């Protein structure tokens, strides 16, 4: 069996990066290099392999993981507001401007 020496490991602090963010970054990089994400004690380890210029790819992967984490954090923070905007838009599209009282036409 051939030992793989062309690999790069990135360690992400679990207090900052969610597993979802690192796995989404791995999915984005699936066509560029091999990525395996494994949990550690308080960290997530991403192992990049099989790609050309792994140092450059490692930096880009770290940026992508940060982008995904920011997207997730913003979605959580703004989900209530987004829901209100969607509800208002749907009600406006239906012609509902204000709540109707029962029995009124």
Percent of the chain residues topping a pLDDT of 90: 66
pLDDT 10s digits, 20-42: 999 999 999 999 999 999 999 99
Average pLDDT for 35-61: 93
Greatest Cα pair distance in the chain: 79
pLDDT 10s digits, 65-105: 999 999 999 999 998 888 889 998 998 888 766 666 676 55
For the chain, list the domains and their CATH numbers: 7-92 (3.30.70)
């Amino acid at each position: 069996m051939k030992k793989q020496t062309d690999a790069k490991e990135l360690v992400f602090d679990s207090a900052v990066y969610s597993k979802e963010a690192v796995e989404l970054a791995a999915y984005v990089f699936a066509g560029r290099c091999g990525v395996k994400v494994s949990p550690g004690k308080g960290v997530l380890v991403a192992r990049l392999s099989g790609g050309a210029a792994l140092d450059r790819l490692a930096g880009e992967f770290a940026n992508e993981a940060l982008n995904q984490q920011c997207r997730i954090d913003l979605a959580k923070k703004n989900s209530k507001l987004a829901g209100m905007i969607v509800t208002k838009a749907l009600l406006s599209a239906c012609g509902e401007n204000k709540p109707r009282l029962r029995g009124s036409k």
